[in-house]
Structure 1
Amino acid sequence: MSDLILHHYPTSPFSEKVRLILGYKQLAWKSVIIPRIMPKPDVLALTGGYRRTPFLQIGADVYCDTALIGDVLEQREPSAPLFPATQKGVARVLAQWADSTLFWAAMGYNLSPKGAAALFAGQPPEAAQAFAADRGAMRSNMTSLRPGDATAAYRSYLRRLSTMVEEQPFLLGDAPSMADFAAYHPLWFSRVVNPAVAGVLDHTPAVLAWMDRLAALGHGHMSKLTSAEAVAVAAAAQPLPLTGDVFQDDHGIALGSRVTIAAEAFGTEPTEGILRAATRTRYTLERSDERVGTVHVHFPRIGFVLREVKA
């Protein structure tokens, strides 16, 4: 079985979500540290355009978006399930809310003028400017919450999460689910990455205790890999065969068509390739690169836009 290779960087909140899932499932994985801002030549060689962090590589297969990565890890190691048998829909809906609404409120607070000043304290002004420009480009078609609005929403959401873990250890019961990992990572950014703004969490001690329980899961069994080595792994491998029902036609775009896939909102850089699968839940593109050879790049349907490339 091919190694799990996670392309990430230490302070990425969505990466922390996946790192904790790897810990919960006690999986072994390879760690590739990637730049947090552009340029990212090795990333784009593998993904073809997608540049959000993290992404998961297994040989010559590349999985984009943490919702899809969670499904891949669930299939890899079904024990310690991410989706409780009687609450699968609830876990997915709550995780989607946490990865979007909660995340953007939290980051609007975390990167408010006060938060940004603390985060980049001691660094040259160019570092903050480069980060702001990079994320600004990724948010080009989004409406951002103003800091005051984000702060008010974040505090409300923390109180709501608190009511869910005051009488039980995790959001949906006695064991963690995808909902916990999705709700945890933006709060982790406040507490760990930018502790100057962590005081917002002090008003919800039940949330802090819940965070401690999740942090105790650890990050699994990690070993290091360089970005160049990961590229070489892809070049030496072939994409996994596609099996089962690989086509649910919702767009009138046939398999074998040249298409692009891009995120609906944040980080909308498209990946172009040949559509090899459009299942009920995901898309698969085949693309070729002189450095990595032929790869399959996989995206979830939800949150992504499929378009045909017209000749």
Structure 2
Amino acid sequence: MADLILHHYPTSPFSEKVRLILGYKQLAWKSVIIPSIMPKPDVLALTGGYRKTPFLQVGADIYCDSALIADVLEHLQPTPSLYPEPGKGLARTLAQWADSTLFWAAMAHNLGPRGAAHMFAGAPPETAKAFGEDRKAMTGGMVRLRPADAAAAYKSYLRRLSDMLDEQPFLLGQVPCIADFAAYHPLWFTRVRTPVMADILQLTPAVLDWMDRMHAIGQGGMEKFGSARAIAVAAAAEPTRVGDGLLTDSTFQDEHGIPLGSRVSITAESFGPEPTEGELIAATRTHYTLSRNDERAGTLHVHFPRIGYVLKAAIPA
């Protein structure tokens, strides 16, 4: 088994989700710190276009999106499970809500004028401007909540989470599940990255206690690693064959009339519209896999979850 290499940066909320899952699974991993904004040449050498944070590298296999990364880590280390029975369908559904609706309400609140000023306090004005322009490019035509509307929604969502914690330590029971990790990271950003906006959390003390329990999980055994070394690891490795790696589902499910072997592009439905192009070598009920080549990283398999991503036939050059 090749090393787990997480490409992330410390203040990335979705990275915090994955770091905690690594801790919950008690897995060792290598840490490659990547830029928070473009340009990201070493990232694109591995992903081919996808530039959201984080992504997981295992040899020459690249796993994009924290939802897919969670599935990969579950396969690698099944216990303790992120999807305990009998409620795994509910856990996945709640996690999807948390990674989208809850996340965007929290971030619109966090990055209102006061939160943004705190984030960039002491930094040159061009730093905040560059961050804003970068995120504007990633959001495209998304409708963003205004800070006042976001605060109202965020308060409601926090109360709902608090209600779930009335008689149990975690959202769906006595142990954490994927829903806990997905709901935690936007609240973590409020508490850690924009503490001037964290008064909103004081309204739900049960949620704060739950956050303390989540934080206590830790982040596993981390070792610092450089991006050039990660690219060298990919170049020296062979990507796993479809069905033989950490994504064992290999049955072709055709929803688009695009056969395997076609040149395709994959983009996120909303946030992060940059396409990744390659040869479609897997399209299963859960994920897509593209094969692509990079002059530095060699032949790579880049994997995406099916939910949340759009598959299209590539336009010939």
Q: State whether TM-score is above 0.5.
A: yes
Q: CA deviation at 1:310?
A: 3.8
Inter-partner Cα distance in structure 1 for 2:13 and 2:165: 21
Superposition deviation, residue 259 in structure 1: 0.1
Q: How does 1:239-258 map to 2 (within 5 A)?
A: 239-243=239-243, 245-258=250-263
Deviation track 1:4-58 (CA, whole Å, cap 9, x = no partner) reads: 0000000000000000000001000000000000000000000000000000000
Structure 1: distance between partners of 2:124 and 2:294: 36
Q: Indicate yes or no: 2:288 matched with 1:287.
A: no
Task: Give the superposition deviation at 1:123.
Answer: 1.0
Distance in structure 2 (CA, Å) of the matches to 1:234 and 1:21: 24
Residue 241 of structure 1 deviates from its aligned partner by 1.2
Residue number in structure 1 paired with 2:115: 115
In the alignment, the residues of structure 2 paired with residue 140 and residue 309 of structure 1 have an alpha-carbon distance, to the nearest angstrom, of: 21
Q: Does 1:45 align with 2:45?
A: yes
Using the TM superposition, name which of 9-18 and 246-255 deviates more.
246-255
Aligned residues: 311
Deviations 1:151-208 (CA, angstroms, capped at 9, x unpaired): 1000110010001112100000000000000000000000011111111101100000
Q: Deviations over 1:263-303 (max 9, x none)?
A: 00000100000000001100000000000000000000000
Cα displacement (A) at 1:246? 3.5
Structure 2 match to 1:275: 280
CA distance in 2, matches of 1:262, 1:62: 15
Are residues 1:195 and 2:200 paired? Answer: no
Q: Where do residues 214-233 of structure 1 align in structure 2 (5 Å cutoff)?
A: 214-233=214-233
Could you say what secondary structure the match of 1:122 adopts? Answer: coil
Alignment of 1:1-311 (within 5 A): 1-243=1-243, 245-311=250-316
What amino acid is the match of 1:273? G
The alignment's TM-score, normalised by the length of structure 2, stands at 0.97
The one-letter code matched in structure 2 to 1:288 is: N
Structure 2: distance between partners of 1:63 and 1:245: 16
The whole-number CA distance in structure 2 between the counterparts of 1:112 and 1:193 is 13
1:212, CA displacement in angstroms?
0.3
Corresponding residue SS for 1:175:
coil
Task: Measure the CA separation in 2 of the matches of 1:245 and 1:230.
Answer: 27
What letter matches 1:251 in structure 2?
H
Query: Hey, what's the Cα distance between the residues in 2 that align with 1:306 and 1:25?
Result: 32
CA distance in 2, matches of 1:266, 1:46: 20
Unpaired runs of at least 5, structure 2:
244-248
Give, in whole Å, the separation in 1 of the partners of 2:119 and 2:163: 30
d(CA) in 1 for partners of 2:25, 2:133 = 36
TM normalised by structure 1 equals 0.99
